[in-house]
Amino acid sequence: MEYLKIIGETNLSGEVKISGAKNAALPLIAATILAKNEISICNMPNVVDINTFLKLIDKLGGTFKKENDCIKIDTSKLHNTTATYDIVKTMRASILVLGPILARFGHCEVSLPGGCAIGQRPVDLHLKALEAMGAVIKINHGYIEASAPNGLKGAKIVFDKVTVGGTENTVMAAALADGETTIINAAKEPEIVQLCEIIRNAGVSIEGIGTSKLIIQGTNKELLNIKDFDVIPDRIEAGTYMCAAAITNSKLKINKVIPLHLEAIISKLEEMNFEILQDENSVTVMPTDEIKPVNIVTTEYPGFPTDMQAQFMALATQAKGTSTIDERLFENRFMHVSELLRLGADIHLNGNIATINGSKNTLNGTDVMATDLRASSALVLSALVAQGETSIHRIYHLDRGYEDLEGKFSNIGANVARFKE
């Protein structure tokens, strides 16, 4: 296994370029299952989760070719309809093939994802939506077995909870269903907007894109002609580098972003007394005299993203005063707290609320363990300001979602290197 060694108390400077969004790219790769043509997707992030999803496409009988940051995917000869445990266990997002495969072939088998480090994360809402569209679902030997012998029919679906993956699966299924599907309480994340736009550009009528009510007219199993496109920038990677600038109190320009997608992050950094300069495709974080504490509640987009919670917790350890973070989406998403405590942070947990007593220069380098993707990035940020050396173990979590992390951080002045255990 590999680990990262970071020497702290560094200043960052310069510019960093953000990659394509992993969480947009995953459903977009799944959407290629709806197509009859080869599709070239560019600005693909080079991260492990994308490679895992491509492996799944390959196992299902599709093909792909990589060329720089573009990947050409052809699912016209896709024939296997089973997503097996060996892939699903490493990446929950594999569940995203369920909607498109079921809609195209009338049946699909996906290993149940099970729990993960940040909580139970059920898929009941995905299944309920597909059932409303006429699917018959059985759980057999740890697999979701879905069938729709007469094809999926358009339906009215009201999600009890806002679910990103559930909305994506339903939109993809609805695209090939027979008739009109209405999704009420749909998720509105930029990643969902892009998925809907790509499907709409392929000729499927979708009303309400970017709102909580989507109306989709299905093609009744006629496969789509999806046009080539670029993946949107990763707002979470961008937010992580913004927090890296803030925690080290450095001026850093973050390029190739969509500032509109970063509004909640920008506004919390401003509350913490940072000035953020914006232009069309970049944001620049300016240093501050004093980091102010902040209160954060994680919610669905356009609210503050749960995927940025851990990074802001690291930043709050450097604020002057007490901050709170109320995690509303995932019940067990505070795994980073015990590691931040090992670095010397003063954090108290009460249910889903963390209270962080911050002050400057409190962290000391030591060995810490990455527990999930975003928790790991909080450890990287903390290590940048900690006194001395921090070794972050189990960094395969980071590799799932951050492209060339050491390269990008080294370029802006961080002292970071990767070693084998």
Instruction: Give the catalytic positions in this structure.
Output: 116
> Of 121-129, 242-250, 264-272, 404-412, which segment contacts ligand UD1 by CB under 6 A?
121-129
Q: Which of 4, 33, 44, 123 binds ligand UD1 (CB under 6 A)?
A: 123
Tokens of 204: 């499927």
Q: Tokens for 70?
A: 């573009």
Minimum CB separation of residue 236 from ligand UD1 in Å reads: 7
Does 330 sit near ligand UD1 (CB under 6 A)?
Answer: yes
Cα angle, residue 387 at apex, residues 383 and 388 outer, rounded to 5° = 85
Tell me which of 104, 126, 188, 253 binds ligand UD1, using CB under 6 A: 126
Distance CA 274, CA 363 (A): 21
DSSP code per residue over 164-202? HHHHHHHHHHHHHSBSEEEEES----HHHHHHHHHHHHT
Q: How far is the CB of 384 from ligand UD1 (least distance, A)?
A: 23
Site string for ligand UD1, 46-85 (x = CB under 6 A): ----------------------------------------
The residue among 12 and 98 lying less far from ligand UD1, judged by its C-beta, is 98
Regarding 329 and contact with ligand UD1 (CB under 6 A), the answer is: yes
**232 touches ligand UD1 (CB under 6 A):** no
Name which position in 101, 125, 347, 414 contacts ligand UD1 (CB under 6 A). Answer: 125
State in angstroms the smallest separation of the CB of 410 from ligand UD1: 26
Nearer to ligand UD1, 234 or 250 (CB): 234
Among 14, 115, 122, 388, binds ligand UD1 (CB under 6 A): 122
Q: How far apart are CA 156 and CA 407, in angstroms?
A: 47
Q: What are phi and psi of 268, to 5 degrees?
A: -70, -35
* Binding of residue 115 to ligand UD1 (CB under 6 A): no
- What element of type H or E holds 57? helix 48-60
Name the one residue in this structure whose structure tokens are 């990643």.
191
Tell me the three state secondary structure of residue 355.
strand
CB of 252 to ligand UD1, least distance (A): 24
Considering only 121, 200, 292, 394, the residue that binds ligand UD1 (CB under 6 A) is: 121
Q: Which is nearer to ligand UD1, 219 or 309 (CB)?
A: 309
Task: Identify which of residues 212 and 288 has a Cβ nearer to ligand UD1 in the complex.
Answer: 212
Pair of tokens at residue 170: 């339903």
Using CB under 6 A as the binding rule, whether residue 124 contacts ligand UD1 is answered as yes
Our finding on whether 394 is near ligand UD1 (CB under 6 A) is: no
Measured between alpha carbons, how far is 105 from 79 in angstroms, rounded to an integer?
Answer: 9
CB nearer ligand UD1, residue 117 or residue 349: 117
Residues 130-169 that bind ligand UD1 (CB under 6 A): 161, 163-166
Residue 306 touches ligand UD1, criterion: CB under 6 A: yes
Handedness of CA 33, 66, 52, 237 (dihedral sign): negative
Which pair of structure tokens corresponds to residue 117?
């480090």
Among residues 93 and 243, whose Cβ is nearest to ligand UD1? Answer: 93
How far apart, in whole angstroms, are the C-alpha atoms of residue 320 and residue 302?
Answer: 27
DSSP string computed for 284-343: EEPP-SSPPP-EEEB-STTSB-GGGHHHHHHHHTTSSEEEEEE--S-TT--HHHHHHHHT
Residue count of the chain: 421
For the CB of residue 45, give the shortest distance to ligand UD1 in the complex, in Å. Answer: 12
The answer to whether residue 403 forms part of the interface with ligand UD1 (CB under 6 A) is: no
Interface residue with ligand UD1 among 4, 6, 26, 345 (CB under 6 A) is 26
Residues 6+ apart with CB under 8 A from 331: 119, 120, 352
DSSP type of residue 412: T
> Quick one: which segment of 124-132, 242-250, 282-290, 354-362 binds ligand UD1 (CB under 6 A)?
124-132
Residues in the interface with ligand UD1 (CB under 6 A) total 18
Contact at 8 Å (CB) between 98 and 152? no
36 vs 161 by CB, closer to ligand UD1: 161
127-140 burial code (b ≥16 CB/10 A, e <16)? bbbbebbbbebeee
Does 264 bind ligand UD1 (CB under 6 A)? Our answer is: no
CB closest to ligand UD1, residue no: 165
Contact set with ligand UD1 (CB under 6 A): 23, 26, 93, 121-126, 161, 163-166, 306-307, 329-330
